[in-house]
Structure 1
Amino acid sequence: MLLEKINQLGESHGHLRRGTGMVSGVVALTLALLCFLGVLAFHFPQYLTTPQLRKSYDVQTLRSVMYWAMVIAGSTALLNVVFGRVRWLSFAAFTLVALTLALGGHKVPVNDFPDHTPYIGLDWFILDLLGSTLIFIFIEKLFPLRRQQPVFRAEWQCDLHHFIVNHMVVGFILLATNLLVHQLFGWAVKDGVQAWVQDLPFPVALFLIVLVADLVQYWTHRAYHEVPALWRLHAVHHSVKSMDWLAGSRQHILELVLTRTLVLAPIFVLGFSKEVIDTYIVIVGFQAVFNHANVDVRLGPLGYLLVTPNFHHWHHSQDQEALDRNYAAHFAFLDHLFGTAVKADRKWPRDYGVLGDYVPVGFWKQLKFPFTWKG
């Protein structure tokens, strides 16, 4: 009965009724689930954590985050049980917290372990999901574009599946892109050019890396729209009908590998410093989510320079004046320069998705779509 109710909740969409304990219950269950996954990552770091991330984060900070997440999830679930609100949901959250504690909770020791093992990016999934929900749902509620759009809008399950899979197979993606970049573009590396790039002042180097990456992104993105074989992949991303922080996760894994390879190629060839690349990754990560978000944010004249949610929402529109427009990921002036910027008499588009709505809903169906579509 409990699993059936949780399954029904996972398959539903719409607003959560306030005052019933549903909102706090879902928050408690989500935190409890992330804590449970976190304790598994502590037990099996060699298989469940990303080597690149291990070197970046502080384990003690993660232990503190897990501790407080368990406290919030457990106390919220307990209060809901005491006040008789959605007890089945609260019981599920409390059970997960108890399992996490039984497995050692935030105190699980992490001893030495082999570094070169096959892995899935469970830590990357946990941190990104927790950070994204805390930051972007808050921003969407603070500056909403479509006020009536719920957090759990239609088809959110499909986009969450894309989010999970694309994060879990981060090892495969990194391995594939690094291999392709080195194999295809290793010949272009010039020590003198790399030395010159690494001597640039940090702000100049940061501007250059974003500009170079966005130029590649622009023409790659344009090719996805203009080359039929590539559109088969990219149509999956465009099939989302509601824009929010999760919408950008809907992306075919082959497109993800191909785009990352092409964008990383000039970064590899030019030899930017680690500090510049790390800052660029932060910028990319934020813009990729923020520009899909359900937020009413425009920058006035700066909107001609930088890509904003308003600019990118038009790219996802079915409206006739928006088809095959607004390709840039960072600098909007590229579309104005190349003549592909949207010209519309309205501030925001009406409808989103693929014109004709021919892309199926569901992760596995969308994974197969480019190879089965008869269009």
Structure 2
Amino acid sequence: MEKYFEIFKNSYHGYFNYLWKEITYFHWENYFYGLILVSLIVWGLELLFPWRKDQKVFRKDFWLDTFYMFFNFFLLNLIVLIFLSNATAELFNDVLSLLGLKLANFQLLDLDALPFGLGLLIFFLITDFVQWNTHRLLHYSPFLWNFHKLHHSVKEMGFAAHLRYHWMEPIVYKSILYIPLAIIGGFNVESVAIVHFSALAIGHLNHANLGWDYGFLKYFFNNPKMHIWHHAKVLPKHAQYGVNFGISLSVWDYLFKTNHIPHDGRDIELGFDGDEKFPDDFVRQTLYPVKTKERKIS
């Protein structure tokens, strides 16, 4: 237990110093100013090329979503995720040691041994595919769906809706992603930063008030015209658990037949069945999965 207490202490101390450095020192892989820059660019595109022209500049829940954006991107890491991530890694290594194994025994691929571009592509594809499956799990599991409802409570889409989600979600994503990433060791800070900012930009665009589908690239990259159907309140009868689960890439949905774009979805109603009873403030939204006993997936 003493070892895990040290992990707890060092995680918070280290991340606080990291966050302070992010705010006070600008560098190319700076996540704090990177988030601000990407957000301003995509928001500017919304204002220049609005899909729903009658949607206000400061749409419904704009400021709530902006709070979620910074809370989930930075404060959540400070409060919960850094310690959990470090502790999970250490626990996994401890379990392997008890079995007389090492993490290196499970490494199927060393990305450092590959050309940078190829290694980066493999890292991006594996990460996105695991996250696509995790996203499906959030819809198919009644327990996890109660947490994921927060993201689907968005009634007017805009870039900041991308990061409106419950703090439990990244715990699920990171836990499931840990082992696949562990067996493809060798990804460096530069690779992580490129994939991270690519996913951030694509995610912002997917939720933005933009009527783009990228032409033939729509079969590879998720896009606003596709993702809005993921947030549709009325789902097709054959897909009541959801459609269009893509995070950055749409190709998984086309490959596994979960794609659904029946027509231009510009003005469809967003949300889920019963969303009129969903709380409209941060505290009650955070507590909702604990208080509710509802198990139905809508």
Percent of residue pairs identical: 27
- What residue is the counterpart of 1:235 in the other structure? 149
Q: Which runs of 5+ in 1 are unaligned?
A: 1-45, 63-122
Looking at structure 2, the residues matched to 194 and 146 of structure 1 have their Cα atoms a distance apart, in angstroms, of 47
Root-mean-square deviation (CA, aligned residues, Å) is 2.9
Task: After superposition, give the CA deviation of every residue in 1:318-373 in whole Å (9 maximum; x if it has no partner).
Answer: 13237501112122111111121114133546111122213211110111000111
- What residue is the counterpart of 1:342 in the other structure? 260
Task: After superposition, give the CA deviation of every residue in 1:91-131 in whole Å (9 maximum; x if it has no partner).
Answer: xxxxxxxxxxxxxxxxxxxxxxxxxxxxxxxx965x35632
Deviates further, 281-290 or 259-268: 259-268
Q: Which amino acid counterpart does residue 300 of structure 1 have in structure 2? A: G
Looking at structure 2, the residues matched to 195 and 374 of structure 1 have their Cα atoms a distance apart, in angstroms, of 43
- What residue is the counterpart of 1:51 in the other structure? 18
Deviates further, 226-235 or 183-192: 183-192
**What does 1:69-108 align with in structure 2 at a 5 Å threshold?**
none
Q: Is the aligned partner of 1:177 residue 2:85?
A: yes
Q: 1:197 aligns with which of 111, 118, 127?
A: 111
Indicate if the aligned counterparts of 2:110 and 2:185 stay in contact, CA closer than 8 A: no
Cα 1:250–1:347 shift into 2, 3 Å: closer
Task: After superposition, give the CA deviation of every residue in 1:236-264 in whole Å (9 maximum; x if it has no partner).
Answer: 11111111111122110011222133234
Q: 1:296 aligns with which of 186, 205, 211?
A: 211
Higher relative contact order (CA 8 A, sep 6+): 2
Looking at structure 1, the residues matched to 140 and 15 of structure 2 have their Cα atoms a distance apart, in angstroms, of 39
Q: Which runs of 5+ in 2 are unaligned?
A: 1-12, 97-101
- What residue is the counterpart of 2:251 in the other structure? 333
Cα 1:345–1:130 shift into 2, 3 Å: closer
Q: 1:157 aligns with which of 40, 63, 82?
A: 63
- What residue is the counterpart of 2:132 in the other structure? 218
Q: CA deviation at 1:314?
A: 1.3
Q: 1:168 aligns with which of 75, 92, 96?
A: 75
Q: Which amino acid counterpart does residue 284 of structure 1 have in structure 2? A: A
Give the secondary structure class of the aligned counterpart of 2:110.
Answer: helix
Q: CA deviation at 1:312?
A: 1.5
- What residue is the counterpart of 1:131 in the other structure? 37
Looking at structure 2, the residues matched to 216 and 306 of structure 1 have their Cα atoms a distance apart, in angstroms, of 16
Task: After superposition, give the CA deviation of every residue in 1:9-45 in whole Å (9 maximum; x if it has no partner).
Answer: xxxxxxxxxxxxxxxxxxxxxxxxxxxxxxxxxxxxx
Task: After superposition, give the CA deviation of every residue in 1:283-331 in whole Å (9 maximum; x if it has no partner).
Answer: 1222222211111211122101111122222111113237501112122
Q: CA deviation at 1:52?
A: 6.9
**What does 1:297-336 align with in structure 2 at a 5 Å threshold?**
297-321=212-236, 323=240, 324-336=242-254
Looking at structure 2, the residues matched to 303 and 182 of structure 1 have their Cα atoms a distance apart, in angstroms, of 40
TM-score calculated relative to the size of structure 2: 0.79
Give the secondary structure class of the aligned counterpart of 1:225.
Answer: helix
Looking at structure 1, the residues matched to 35 and 119 of structure 2 have their Cα atoms a distance apart, in angstroms, of 30
